[in-house]
A and B are shown apart, each in its own frame.
Chain A
Amino acid sequence: MPATETRAKTRLSRQQYLDLYYYMRLNREVEETMTKLFRQNKIVGGLYSSLGQEAISVGTAYALEKRDWIAPMIRNIGALLVKGVPPRDIFTQHMAKYTSPTKGKDGTSHFGDLDNLHIISPISMLGDLIPVMTGVAMAGRYLGQKIVAMTWIGDGGSSTGVFHEGLNLAASQKAALVLILENNLWAYSTPVRRQVPLENLADRAKAYGISSYIVDGNDAVAVYTTAKEAVERARAGEGPILIEAKTFRRRGHAQHDPAEYVPQEQREFWEKRDPITLYEKFLMDEKLLDAKGKKEMEDKLAALLDKEREFAEHSPMPPPELASEGVYCTGPECHDLQPRWERDVTELLPPKSSVEPVWTVEGFGRGKSSSRENAPIHFGDTPQTSEQVEAEKSAARASAPVKRETKPAAKAAVEKKAFAKSTARGKARS
């Protein structure tokens, strides 16, 4: 597996090693609880499994700081948990309960939290979140926040047009974006070889002139250390970074799909490489975890998930009248949208607002406007004769100022001479 960048060997603290283990186990237990709920007909819609991909969701999100932003995909429950989302939110979402973050208006991992956890809701249309997170990174830089934006995409989603638009914009803006490309070999029933004629999807990074990594997505420590380095580089201003994590989708596209199209030997190969089993062995070998510690963690997880599941099961469905509410924000009493400035705002306002750019593009102007007063424009422009100019001047003198809100009569105050041309639109462009 050719690494496109060299990676520093990082040693984690004992607590960090155990955190990774805890969140991976939590990720799996949450999903196993939901599989049971699904079989009991308590999940309203679909259920999408990340079985075997937990190291990616957890390892990448764990590399972020609290101030950083994520936009997960459907299979990134682990990233949500690392960010601090309680399991009850995931259960209530899937069960369409009123107590869910979206109050039952959307399901699965489709929810976010702008104010506290900095999570942007996923959308089923793949790739759209890449430019959105580019905007997050750009705004963060503008506000002086030094944040990193992270989002995920699959091998399938990497073929969308907006993947290209987003990553290209991020690259041209040197946005602090870390994009995790989870290559799980299958886009629903279509194998990656039928979608993309590349051995390594990380090669796509070359097209944008950005750095990339390839990592074994079933190796939690490798995922974390790679993501950590990428996050630090992005934060330092190196621009977006792509990480391809190679893995395998062990279940079907969703719960209904038995995935019989997957070759048996491929499935067997990856089942022997379960990321949690591998990581547990590593922790035991390194004496970071023993049977007692494992049992304690399992008991803790079981107690937590019982409590959270019960909360969800006992929650009500949303009242029907909620259906018509909340399409629009009604103003400051609904949302008072104030950014968190971490720089001096006065330097962004005239007369000081022409601040030096934080990065420059060689040969691209000098931050000076290239045009002049009444410069020619596309269509819409009618070169005027001196007679017309005179006529307009006298018309302007003749027309008194008018109040538009109060006086109902023809107050458009259209320049008579200028607008008369509209009757003969075919000749408007002389």
Chain B
Amino acid sequence: MAAITFLEAIKQALFEEMAADPRVVLIGEDVGVYGGAFKTSEGLLEKFGWERVVDTPISESAIIGAACGMSYLGLRPVAEMQFIDFIACCFNQLTNFVAKGHYLWNAPAPIVVRGPSGGGVHGGPFHSANPEMYFLHTPGLKIVYPSTPYDAKGLLKASIRDNNPVLFFEHKFLYRRIKEEIPSDDYIVPLGKAVVRREGKHLTILSYAAMMHTSLEAAAALAKEGIEAEVIDLRTLLPLDEETMLQSVKKTNKCLVVHEDTKTGGIAGEIAAILAEKAFHDMDGPLVRVTSLDTPVPYAPTLEEAFLPNAKKVFAAAKELARF
């Protein structure tokens, strides 16, 4: 059992699902001959042929529309956005048509829309997006944002097998910077379940994707100062695992949310509302947010570093919160 990268985990999930189920097809820009801009579909064309690995024109709305139409005939298409930033180009198709189908006319659309997201790699303002919150407001979609190779593989498989449209965000910073040994047998990680990554009793840190690792780093530093932070990886943002969150907060009485998405309208605000509604009497301090700045993602390394949260910022905020 060799350690594999996050990227390899995605590739394995795609390969295994396609090998096991002829309903699964892949559609997107440069996914075939080139194997995807990030090589997540490398070799799939040779293995599965032109009908199942479809190179398209640069037409995000058409990619989503076609995936949706394919799903109506019983297929389970995986649609790739070359960079997740471009999901904005098919916003209408996703939010007005795909997401509403089951509610309105009993038409489930089992499609997965996946693509590389997130910053920290100097991709600039159009190649670094975290667009999860544009979609969190859309009933009918599910949103997954994994942080480890194990989860990436298991969650992608679960997403492909789910009967609903799933937006699957892959943090590109993690693609080749993180490795993990994962089992060789078939497994899934169920959607809608958060996981406790580190146990603690003084405060809860809720996070996901690349920031989960930043949070763990901060938690390790906090431990040296006697502050035991419990770190929870949300993994799925829609539906949100309220139970795991509430359970932890009832124990620690303090909550810090760390996300790479910008602050205003970020998921921390939604979590703050949930805790205010359901755990008001358990809270011994304010909900604290460590997020990116409310700006576009800047390009220069110095600017991007200032824009993004990091372990130092999380550490400082947590220390402050722990004083309550």
Contacts and interface: CB of A to CB of B under 8 A. Distances in A.
A128 B93 contact: yes
Contact of A142 (B51, B61, B116, B181): B51
A114 B175 contact: no
Interface in B164-185: 164, 172-173, 175-181, 183
A337 B104 contact: no
B38 A377 contact: yes
A364 interface: yes
A386 to B, nearest CB: 16
Interface string A92-116: 0000000001100110001110100
B131 interface: no
A419 to B, nearest CB: 6
A141 B74 CA distance: 13
B287 interface: no
A139 B308 CA distance: 42
Contacts of A426: 301-302, 304-305
Interface string B97-122: 10001111111101000001000111
B3 A114 contact: no
Contacts of A410: 197-198, 216, 219, 231
Nearest to A101: B105
Interface stretch (A31-39, A163-171, A309-317): A163-171
In the complex, which range does the number of interface residues on chain A fall in?
35 or more
Interface in B86-101: 92-93, 96-97, 101
A120 B107 CA distance: 9
B317 interface: no
A111 B103 CA distance: 11
A418 B177 contact: yes
Nearest to A350: B19
Interface string A230-263: 0000000000000000000000000000000000
A168 B66 CA distance: 12
A382 B42 contact: no
Interface of A, helix, strand, loop or mixed by DSSP: loop
Interface stretch (B52-60, B249-257, B262-270, B278-286): B52-60
A365 interface: yes
Contact of A380 (B116, B231, B308): B116
Contacts of A129: 65
Contacts of A121: 101, 104-105, 107
A123 interface: yes
B223 to A, nearest CB: 10
A138 B70 CA distance: 7
Given A368-B33, A379-B122, A169 B57 contact: yes
B48 interface: yes
Interface in B194-249: 195-199, 210, 212-214, 216-217, 219, 231, 233
Interface string A169-188: 10011000000000000000
A334 interface: yes
Contact of B57 (A172, A337, A368, A422): A172
A379 B173 CA distance: 8
Interface stretch (A73-81, A273-281, A397-405): A397-405
Given A134-B69, A381-B176, A128 B92 contact: yes
A169 B102 contact: no
A139 B70 CA distance: 5
A136 B50 contact: no
A380 B10 CA distance: 15
Nearest to A364: B33
Contact of A131 (B47, B61, B175, B198): B61
Given A375-B39, A379-B123, A404-B148, A328 B176 contact: no
A303 interface: no
A162 B1 contact: no
B125 to A, nearest CB: 13
Interface of B: 1-3, 7, 19, 22-23, 25, 32-35, 37-39, 42-52, 54-57, 59-77, 83, 92-93, 96-97, 101-108, 110, 116, 120-123, 127, 139-140, 142, 147-148, 150-151, 163-164, 172-173, 175-181, 183, 189, 195-199, 210, 212-214, 216-217, 219, 231, 233, 301-302, 304-305, 308, 310-312
Given A348-B51, A414-B180, 9 more contacts: A106-B105, A162-B93, A165-B62, A169-B62, A405-B195, A409-B198, A422-B120, A425-B308, A428-B122
